[in-house]
A and B are shown apart, each in its own frame.
Chain A
Amino acid sequence: MKTPLLLTALLACVAAPAFAATPINETRPLDARGHVEVSNVKGRIEVRTWDKAEVAITGSLGNGVERLQIEGDRNALEIKVRYPRNSRNAEATTLVLNVPRQANLDVSGVAVEIDVSGVAGDELDIESVSGNVIAVGAPRSAEISSVSGDLRLNLNSRDVDAETVSGSISLRGRIGGQISAETVSGDISIDTRGEAARRLSTSSVSGNASFTGALADSGRISAESVSGDIRLTLPKSLSARVHAESFSGSLSAPGVSVSRPKYGPGSSFEHTFGSGSGEIHLETFSGDAELRLE
């Protein structure tokens, strides 16, 4: 009689982790332009939008997680996965949120995959350490950063600021204001789908950077790199003064003459395209810099 009981108890222990994740099913009211802040340490955060004035929170709370904390009111809501002090063994938590389309969103995670789609509020802030980030939408401004995760962004926004250390940045979308992209070793790829940006700034150490788009009247592009290559692809109607310099990388642009000092390293050029209303500055140490007109 004792043996079956013991066996059942053992089986229950073995099976427990499979059922350990606690389902989440919460709903809170939120104004159409309210603010949602969501954070998680390990797992996944997925945000979708709808036309309801409420936030639905589903997903599953990982075993070992202390609790899901939901605070705030219909103006601002904070959703936080609370881990115990020693949370090394806590399992991953998945949060799936449905928020009003025009809500402002602030998402932060550590080892968390973040996937946001459909947001069109004033602000979208996403911060991750090691997880990848996917963001699709039309927030007025977006600030998105990760340390080692890749950023795959498809945004029709006025201003976008993207930053990683080793992750790559891929930014697509009609962005007419300020774009800033910075990495250390990750590559940067930006395409504004023909939209003329007012200001573009890229910076990397060893990552390559490419920009395809246009420059607004009196706009400014600044691209710098240490050993990574820089490539700008702009329309043939470009109107800008271009200054480029490199210590040991090669410089190229249509119709320019690159000057090199008689003695020692270094090369540079200055050239005015069109009426020269905008300004472009390219600088590298050993990376190549190229300006293409298409």
Chain B
Amino acid sequence: MTRSRSTDDLSPALRLQLRGLRQDALPQRDLWPDIAPRLSLQAREAPASEAPPRRRVLPALAAAAVLVLAAGVGWLQRPGADATSASAPAGNAVAHAAPLVVEADAMTREYQGALREVAAMLPDAGEHATLSQLDASADLVRDALAQDPDARFLLQRLQRIYAQRLSLTQRLARA
């Protein structure tokens, strides 16, 4: 709970920079053969007395899931929801199915939110041409990703552009 609250307290800019540090690390070998027998062993060794609480937990979880789903549907049907989705990055049918493109769209939305906050503090003069250049480059990479949705390097490049855009905007706002 504390952890969740402290994460929420982070500024969008910092959250995105932390996100940029995230690196997926694949195990060097298939770990499932080791995990599966341990899980089945644990299941066999679990005392029978633990079963009733588990049964009580499941309905609670189901109820919570229904509530979350209802809240989610309500959120999607709220007034202005269409406008929000229209402003989100558009993608073609192939793009919607591609995980990297979905990730790129989500990243774009998050960075745009953070940039809006920082841009409010930006002076009129400055490196606006470069900011526009970065935006145009981000569009170029997203278009490329929509056409080549398996190109992981494009997603990484997009993340770098947004990080540079955010960093430059912050720097100009501080200057």
Contacts and interface: CB of A to CB of B under 8 A. Distances in A.
Interface of A: 41, 88, 110, 129-130, 147-148, 165-166, 182, 184-185, 203, 205-206, 224, 226-227, 247, 265-266, 283, 285-286
A185 B133 contact: yes
Given A148-B129, A247-B148, A224 B168 contact: no
Top 10 closest A-B pairs, CB basis? A285-B144, A247-B148, A205-B137, A184-B137, A148-B130, A224-B153, A166-B133, A147-B130, A283-B153, A165-B130
B171 interface: yes
Contacts of A227: 140, 144
Interface string B158-175: 001100100010011001
Interface string B52-71: 00000000000000000000
B58 to A, nearest CB: 46
Given A184-B137, A185-B133, 13 more contacts: A88-B125, A129-B168, A148-B127, A165-B130, A165-B168, A166-B133, A182-B160, A184-B134, A203-B157, A205-B137, A205-B140, A247-B144, A283-B151
30 contacts: A129-B168, A129-B172, A129-B175, A130-B127, A130-B130, A147-B127, A148-B127, A165-B134, A165-B168, A184-B133, A184-B137, A184-B161, A184-B164, A185-B133, A203-B157, A203-B160, A205-B140, A205-B161, A206-B137, A206-B140, A224-B153, A224-B157, A226-B137, A227-B144, A247-B144, A247-B151, A265-B148, A283-B151, A285-B144, A285-B147
Contact of B133 (A88, A165, A265): A165
B127 A226 contact: no
Contacts of B133: 165-166, 184-185
A129 B160 CA distance: 17
B164 A165 contact: yes
A247 to B, nearest CB: 4
B154 interface: yes
B118 interface: no
Given A247-B144, A285-B148, A226 B157 contact: yes
Main secondary structure, interface of B, reads: helix
A260 to B, nearest CB: 14
Nearest to A83: B175
B100 interface: no
B157 A205 contact: yes
A203 B129 CA distance: 21
B104 interface: no
A205 B145 CA distance: 12
A224 B175 CA distance: 33
A39 B161 CA distance: 26
B141 interface: yes
Contact of A147 (B137, B141, B148, B168): B168
B175 to A, nearest CB: 6
Contacts of B151: 247, 283, 285
A226 B141 contact: yes
Given A147-B168, A165-B168, A203-B157, A185 B144 contact: no
A45 to B, nearest CB: 16
Interface in B115-162: 125, 127, 129-130, 133-134, 137, 140-141, 144, 147-148, 151, 153-154, 157, 160-161
Contacts of B153: 224, 283
A147 B175 CA distance: 14
A182 B157 CA distance: 10
A164 B153 CA distance: 19
A226 B144 contact: yes
A171 B19 CA distance: 31
B144 A286 contact: yes
B140 to A, nearest CB: 6
A160 B50 CA distance: 60
Interface string B66-87: 0000000000000000000000
Contacts of A283: 151, 153
